[in-house]
Chain A
């Protein structure tokens, strides 16, 4: 049988190696436990690190999309309430026109009074059409000005879509350009109302009837637009509620990838500690024994 020669130096070196190995394992586990992270550098696990970076980017994107959707909802809610109030007022104007269209029972003085109320409704509608959200007129497109319509009901906005990105490649328009719902300048709701007022003042019942037809058409457009706005708002709300659950999934995924399993890490630290102590204790016992202890 071959006897391997074992020298004190070998034992010392062996002890040092095992003590150092155990200490570095203990330190690594301790880093895991104290930072709470398993992936502290890319080389800890390159594939997981890249996945973690992706998830991080995706999560940041998702949060931004939720913020965008939130902002878009503000616009759409503002549009919705403006359109509701406008529909009411246009309906009131149409009722007034219907009263004015009765040739027999209505005196000219009565029609004059109706005309005054129609004028007031027109002004009020112009002011509602200038409603803003955070300083920007919601019917003004991308205008840098404060108003979408001037005092004469002429559109002074810049036609363009205001979009909010709510998912990669998915954009939702959150504004309505004034002319799309109120008609182009010269043939707009406000022009209709001005014509109606004139017809009432001049007792032109045929003109009043034309006005009624026109207002009916405007009411249809308003309702359709409002429905469209409602659908878009619904979509943004969907995005928001999706974002909450997706965010949770991504956070869980990121935690799976990056975070240390605390229970496991604590156990690992304990194990490493025991191994370290064992190495220390063994070294202390083995290294202190020598033939000298037994020679006199």
Chain B
């Protein structure tokens, strides 16, 4: 049987427990909007339950309560799934955003852009073919040629600007990844210390999850749980964060220190105390790398080949014709073979030198102009280029929206487990309040019992 005041201790433990329960409900409610906060639950256990000593005759009938710990309502497997899906989503979202910008720069189909300029150019040759002697028709051809060259150059410039911006963004992202990795390493150290000291590490674990998610979204790195509660992060099997140590991610090739391209593909390396190894990040950074290395150069190459086809075709036909004075025509377009679309220019400035005639020695023949207006191939090459790019954009959109469904689903699952429900916390709070009130009532009752025992017992008056 408990000692005289033992019952008071039991009531006190009830009061303490309900206070903790109210505190936890309070902090859950306070953090309802905190990003990455995982709700806590009080786990209570009965006091006592110790292994009885030999010959022990304890007949304790009242057992108090104590808080055995605060449970963080998270699921490591679900969190890993969330990181994977967020990494995929970040890859696709980055791609979609950039592709959309590129596509609007192309401006097809529409009344401006290369294909409209091309149609205008062809029509100007036909007009010249109808009036080979007309100076206005001649200068119109040259103006249309310049517009066409400009529209190729504009598209080329758009692509170059986008590439340059993406390179800058890669540099910034790499910087951010290093900061996040260092933060995660520091958090790992804190968690390890807190676990050693037996302090509740809930807030640190929230921070750890938040940093790991951000790193996954940027690089696609995988997290593994350490025995001391921290996270190790691996990128292609190489440690990005290993306990208290964070490796440094650097751009190995492809980008100069000033953010300009050096002509080679963008590659990365991780440097840590274990040495330096090459890595190829996925997710957001992977999408940027792919756009800079593959998508934009491919389209650029396609555009270059269309521009070159146009310039070569036109030059061949133009040089086989004769100008207004009956002299053989010269090349109409010039370009730098290394960058055709970006350097396409018109060589001829004098309208009389436009070779509309197919007959040597002067005369108002328009047969060469007619040939120039009908030379086939360029339009369909360009249409194919645009259509292939459009398909790529449409497919990226579709994939991103499918992935969004998946991402929302795991986010919902995680929220369903870890999210704070205000209604639930209110109920918990009320329960704790009632527990507190009940424990207080027990205390009052005990007090009154003791009053009877101490003050009234044995009084005869």
User: Inside 8 A of A67's CB, which chain B residues have their CB?
Assistant: 126-127, 130
A52 within 8 A of B: yes
Nearest chain A residue, comparing its CB with the CB of B113: A53
Q: Is the CB of A7 within 8 A of B362?
A: no
The one of A7, A135, A162, A164 that contacts B419, using a Cβ cutoff of 8 Å = A7
Complex Cα spacing A261 to B116, Å: 24
Asked whether A98 is an interface residue with its Cβ less than 8 Å from the other chain, the reply is: no
A52 touches B109 (CB 8 A): yes
Of A42, A163, A290, which contacts B386 at CB under 8 A? Answer: A42
Q: Which residue of B lies closest to A4 (CB)?
A: B416
Is the C-beta of B68 less than 8 angstroms from some C-beta in chain A? no
Stretch at the interface among B152-160, B253-261, B313-321, B364-372: B364-372
Determine whether B141 belongs to the interface, using a CB cutoff of 8 Å to chain A.
Answer: no
Q: Are A144 and B362 in contact (CB under 8 A)?
A: yes
User: Which secondary structure dominates where chain B touches chain A?
Assistant: helix
- The B23-47 residues at the A interface (CB cut-off 8 A) are 32-33
Q: Are the CB atoms of A57 and B379 closer together than 8 Å?
A: yes
Which residues A96-125 have CB closer than 8 A to chain B?
A: none
With A39-B109, A60-B123 as known contacts, state yes or no: A164 contacts B393, CB within 8 Å: no
Asked if A168 and B374 make an inter-chain contact with CB atoms under 8 angstroms apart, the answer reads yes
Cβ-based interface call for B373 (8 A)? yes
> A38 to nearest B CB, angstroms?
11
Contact A165 B122 (CB under 8 A): no
Is A291 touching B416 in the complex (CB atoms < 8 A)? no
> Are A47 and B131 CB-contacts (below 8 A) given A142-B357, A142-B365?
no
- Does A53 lie within 8 Å of B115, measured CB to CB? yes
- The answer to whether A5 touches B129, judged by C-beta atoms less than 8 angstroms apart, is no
The answer to whether A162 touches B366 (Cβ under 8 A) is yes
Whether, in the assembled complex, B294 has its beta carbon less than 8 Å from a beta carbon of chain A, the answer is no
Q: Which residues of B are found within 8 Å of A291, using beta-carbon distances? A: 422-423, 426-427
In the complex, chain A residues whose CB is within 8 Å of the CB of B391 = 43, 46
Find chain B residues with CB under 8 A from A160 CB. Answer: 359, 363, 365, 367
A257 to chain B, nearest CB (A): 9
CB distance from B172 to the nearest CB of A (A): 27
The answer to the question of A258 belonging to the interface, with a C-beta cut-off of 8 Å to chain B, is yes
Complex: chain A residue closest to B425, CB-CB: A291
Given the known interface contacts A42-B393, A43-B390, A64-B123, the answer about A144 and B133 at a Cβ–Cβ threshold of 8 Å is yes
In the bound complex, residues from chain A placing their C-beta under 8 Å from that of B366 are 162-163
Q: Is A9 an interface residue (CB 8 A)?
A: yes
Q: Which residues of A contact B430 (CB under 8 A)?
A: 295
Known contacts A134-B131, A165-B374; is A142 also within 8 Å of B364 by CB? Answer: yes
Residue contacts A-B, CB under 8 angstroms, 30 given? A5-B416, A7-B420, A8-B420, A10-B419, A41-B104, A42-B108, A42-B109, A42-B387, A46-B388, A50-B383, A50-B386, A53-B383, A56-B119, A57-B118, A60-B123, A64-B127, A68-B129, A136-B364, A141-B363, A142-B132, A144-B324, A144-B362, A144-B363, A163-B366, A164-B129, A165-B129, A290-B423, A291-B422, A291-B427, A292-B426
A41-B103, A46-B388, A292-B426 given. 19 additional CB < 8 A pairs?
A4-B416, A5-B421, A8-B419, A8-B420, A41-B104, A42-B103, A42-B109, A44-B394, A50-B386, A53-B383, A64-B122, A136-B133, A160-B359, A163-B366, A164-B130, A165-B374, A290-B423, A291-B426, A295-B430
